[in-house]
Amino acid sequence: MIKDFDDELARMDELENNSDTPINQALTLNDPIENLSLRSHPIVESGENLKSAIEILRDKKVGSIMIEKDRQIIGVMTERDFLLRVTGKGLDLELEFVDNYMTKNPETLTPNDPISYALNKMHIYGIRHIPIINKNGKIYGMISVKDIIAHLGNFFGEDILNLPPDPSQDILDRPEGG
């Protein structure tokens, strides 16, 4: 019976090692941003009205949009920008433009920068989204806190998956289940 159990554990280890799941493809914080699977973030042209920008955020279910002019990033408009700069001011959202309320000249990174650079900038500047631009200054994408959390979840997957469902519950000293 013990041999059967050992054989089953060995088979489970084999399957896990041969798996193509993200847990087995985890990156380190020193790996370049381009190795992450970045979610799509919308890009709008300078001159877009606020109503349209809000609809894009809602429809795409993202917290930030990038604003470009002549294919160069000139700003970002985040949920926080809307909350602090637009909400409660009685503005006509169809007549006001993102250019007047966006964060101008946002912090940026390149695809070759390490993931840790994004964490550092997010921490220092209190931001959750950083545009990624290529060497020509063109928009490559955007990294968000969600992207980094997903990455960390993959990197530390085993530790996270083995946590008890109730955080106040002590971690078991032996496997439990069927």
pLDDT of residue 49: 96
Does the domain at residues 27-157 carry the CATH identifier 3.10.580.10? yes
The whole-number pLDDT of residue 92 equals 95
| Amino acid at the residue 105 | N
pLDDT at residue 66, as a whole number: 97
Rounded average pLDDT per 10-residue block, the chain, 178 residues: 60 57 60 84 95 95 94 94 93 96 96 94 95 91 88 69 65 58
Per-residue confidence (pLDDT) for residue 22, from 0 to 100: 47
Q: pTM of the entire structure?
A: 0.72
Question: Which residue type sits at 57?
Answer: L
pLDDT at 23 (0 to 100): 47
Question: Residue 38: what pLDDT?
Answer: 80
Q: Where are the domains of the chain?
A: 27-157
